[in-house]
Amino acid sequence: MRLLLAFLVAGPLALYAVALVVLAAFQRHLIYPGAYRGPLPSAARDAPPGTRAISLETDDGERLFGFWRPPTPGCAVVLSFHGNGSRPEPAAARFSADPWRAEGWGVLAIAYRGYPGSTGSPSEDGLIADAGAAYREVAARAPGAPVLLHGHSLGAAVAVAATRTMPHLGLYLEAPFDSLTAVAAERFPYLPVRLLLRDSFRSDARIAETGGPVLIVHGRSDPVVPLPHAQRLAERAGPRARLTILPGDHVSILGEQDRAAEALFRPLTTDPVCRKPLATETP
């Protein structure tokens, strides 16, 4: 009987200890799964129409892969940050098509450090450094062009972090969370994630310090980042935030509000020189 009682006590404790070790040791595999899936086939790296592949360097010596489309003269650029399991191709294709193309917007979409095509290993500080490098690349390639910061899911947290040091038109956030700590605590309610988590991505703290309008788009049925995260983030942003709730999940909402977003942010690009792109223009 004593042996049975000891097993009943020790067994769950041992499983709990294993869970702690796994979370502590492999948390970045869970946070950044797209960085640990191996290289993409070369056929999957074709530049979306209207863009071209580029490489840029971070301050700490990493090389980042990305896709660039220049704006037409005087127009703005969408600087886009993808989700944790994604890559830059979908955003590059999306922001190189109408309605963005019709109004002369450019785009830069990068692969974070450690993701296919880029060097290094991902971390919160590293991704924020990547955002800084991407912003400087836009400034070098399109001097004076206003920048709209866009992000999906984890990329929304990167975009929010970028606002603290980078002048911008505003934030276009799809399926954002208020903090990665809150997401992890919901997923692992019985583990001390606040003590173990190395990358917290506290967008709730950062967004209150930023300026410019904020458009937040979220799916009512998002199973990855539940809707309350977006609602809390909008509350933290205050009256300059607009929260649009759509039927859909974490991915199906992507691009559904692009026309509304383009119409919201375009008036902030005041340069009268901005003109419609010509059919003969190339990236």
Q: What is the mean pLDDT of the chain?
A: 88
With 70 as the cut, is the pLDDT of residue 281 above it?
Answer: no
Classify residue 21: in a domain, yes or no. no
First to last CA, the chain: 76
Contacts of 268 by beta carbon, 8 Å cutoff, 6+ apart: 146, 169, 170, 212, 213
Classify residue 25: in a domain, yes or no. no
Classify residue 23: in a domain, yes or no. no
Q: What is the CATH number of the domain that holds 119?
A: 3.40.50.1820
Classify residue 68: in a domain, yes or no. yes
Classify residue 275: in a domain, yes or no. no
Q: What is the pLDDT of residues 252-279, one digit of tens each?
A: 999 999 999 999 999 998 777 675 544 3
Q: What is the pLDDT of residues 206-220, one digit of tens each?
A: 998 888 999 999 999
| pLDDT above 70 coverage of the chain, percent | 85
The domain containing residue 143 runs over which residues?
48-184+198-267
Classify residue 177: in a domain, yes or no. yes
Computed on alpha carbons and rounded to an integer, the radius of gyration of the chain in Å comes to 20
Classify residue 164: in a domain, yes or no. yes
- The count of structural domains within the chain is 1
Entry pTM: 0.89
H/E stretch holding 218: strand 214-219
Classify residue 204: in a domain, yes or no. yes
